[in-house]
Amino acid sequence: MPVTIAQLQKWKHQKKPIAALTATDYAIGKLLDKAGIDLILVGDSLAMVALGYKNTLPVTLDDMIRHAQAVGRGISNALLIVDLPFLSYQVSPEQAIQSAGRIFKETEAKGIKLEGGYPEMINTIHKIIQAGMPVMGHLGLTPQSVHRIGYRVQGTTTDAADLIIHQAKELVEAGIFALLLENIPAELAAKITELVPVPTIGIGAGKSCDGQILVTHDVLGLSDWQPPFAHKYIDLSSVITEAVQQYCQDVRQI
């Protein structure tokens, strides 16, 4: 049966871990769904792993929609969530509503995700939700702010941790259905998970979150760079390279 937002929230109370991964195309989406993944995120990380950019900033709303359409064709059960990319929602709440609306109208997404917890973003998220569109929050390391905060661990000081806790509460008040916590101390993630009534999904945030997500390319060994918190379950880069080398050898021996 298809996974729903209501199920995620029920699983939090049942303490049933939520398994999530990213996808960028039909083939991977279909395989993840077949393997039993609960949630698939078409993340703006596709800018790097699928399009070859150095960070997430260049990816466009049209890019996100095109990839989400492809992933959506491959899944039957997993909950499909799509990132709003950089500058598709920061200008104004009206812009954010229009961008989110395009994703819901043009893809099979059941929710969107956007970064940040400052007052202006809380207001934007509240208005998107009021317009009838489910939102997942994202705190901690927010890659769209890479030039301001870098890729380092967030929430390591008392003040920084308190701010993230405050923002998490504010996001819940705004109506988010889940909260992604990225690259923060495990103790902080555990505290937030206990405090908020919505599921927390961690990436580099320890084992106490209600669920875990990684970039699939990292899991499969297909990334150019492996974050320290991402476990590589197989080295497909070597497997594919060896297979293609064997193919080339076979062809050239004909």
> Beta strands 211-214 and 18-22: pairing type?
parallel
Q: Is 83 annotated as a binding residue?
A: yes
Q: Is 115 annotated as a binding residue?
A: yes
Q: Is 44 annotated as a binding residue?
A: yes
The first and second tokens of residue 244, run together, are 């293609």
Q: Is 54 annotated as a binding residue?
A: no
CA dihedral of residues 245, 67, 235, 79 (deg, nearest 10): -150
C-beta atoms surrounding 117 within 10 Å: 23
Closest CA to 23 of 3, 6, 38, 43: 43
Report which DSSP code applies to 17: P
Distance between CA atoms of 230 and 48, rounded to whole angstroms?
A: 16
Element of type H or E holding 91: none
194 is catalytic: no
Of the residues 182, 187, 194, 242, which is catalytic? 182
Q: Is 162 annotated as a binding residue?
A: no
Using the CB atoms, write b or e for 184-212: b if 16+ within 10 Å.
bbeebbbbbbeebebbbbbbbbbebbbbb
| Residue list, annotated binding site | 44-45, 83, 113, 115
- What residues are annotated to the active site? 182
| Residue list, annotated binding site for 3-methyl-2-oxobutanoate | 44-45, 83, 113
| Residue list, annotated binding site for Mg(2+) | 44, 83, 115
